[in-house]
Amino acid sequence: MSDNMTKTERAELKSVVRQQFKVLRSEVEQREAEVAIEITENVASDFAESDKRWEDAKFLAQEATNECNRKVNDLFREAAGQPKEGYEYVLVQMQIPARSDAADRHKAQAECRATLNANVKAARLRLDREEADLLKRLAIGALSSGDARSFLEVIPTVGELVPAARLAQMIEGTAS
């Protein structure tokens, strides 16, 4: 940055940087929402054949249950000497068992969402870093005294505060 930049220009640029990164964060959120929908659609697509078989089986089971109820009602009406028309009693009810692939579906969705969350977190971190770097460059240009520039030099980095090995341990600890 040029040392000839005025205070007003720096303030304007600072405002532009902040606004631009606000928009970028909104775009990350929008993309996250779009990808979340895509995940749901992709998992549904992956299980579409299984869903069709399940729905077909449920339909056939309901038809068989209805037929069974009709036959049982007819037997009782005949035994009682009643006409075949009238109220049908529901004597046999169908209970639908739990889907055997529900855990697989949930696992697939959870894995995709975990990857999405990690990618979004990384994107947000990158935006934060980029914004901080740009704002720092603007600030450095505004510093005129040696003391102010020296002070800026002593602000520690993440690497200095938390060594890479310790940071990796911390991340692994939160992942498990």
- Tell me: pLDDT of 3 over 60: no
**Where do we find the tokens 């992942």?**
175
Mean pLDDT to the nearest integer, 96-101: 87
Interatomic CA distance for residues 54 and 60, integer angstroms: 10
pLDDT at 83: 83
More reliable by pLDDT, 60 or 137:
60
Interatomic CA distance for residues 107 and 34, integer angstroms: 20
- Tell me: pLDDT of 2 over 70: no
Interatomic CA distance for residues 39 and 44, integer angstroms: 8
- Mean of per-residue pLDDT scores for the chain: 88
What secondary structure, in 3-state letters, does the chain show? CCCCCCHHHHHHHHHHHHHHHHHHHHHHHHHHHHHHHHHHHHHHHHCHHHHHHHHHHHHHHHHHHHHHHHHHHHHHHHHHCCCCCCCCCCCCCCCCCCCCCHHHHHHHHHHHHHHHHHHHHHHHHHHHHHHHHHHHHHHHHHCCCHHHHHHHHCCCCHHHHCCHHHHHHHHHHHHC
Digit-coded pLDDT (tens) for 36-48: 999 999 999 999 9
Digit-coded pLDDT (tens) for 132-169: 989 988 888 888 888 888 887 888 876 777 776 776 77
Interatomic CA distance for residues 145 and 125, integer angstroms: 31
More reliable by pLDDT, 168 or 65:
65
pLDDT at 1: 47
**Nearest CA among 174, 171, 32 for reference residue 115:** 32
Q: What's the pLDDT band for 131 if we cut at 50, 70, 90?
A: very high
Query: CB of 91 within 8 A of CB of 69?
Result: yes
Digit-coded pLDDT (tens) for 68-95: 999 999 898 889 888 877 778 888 888 9
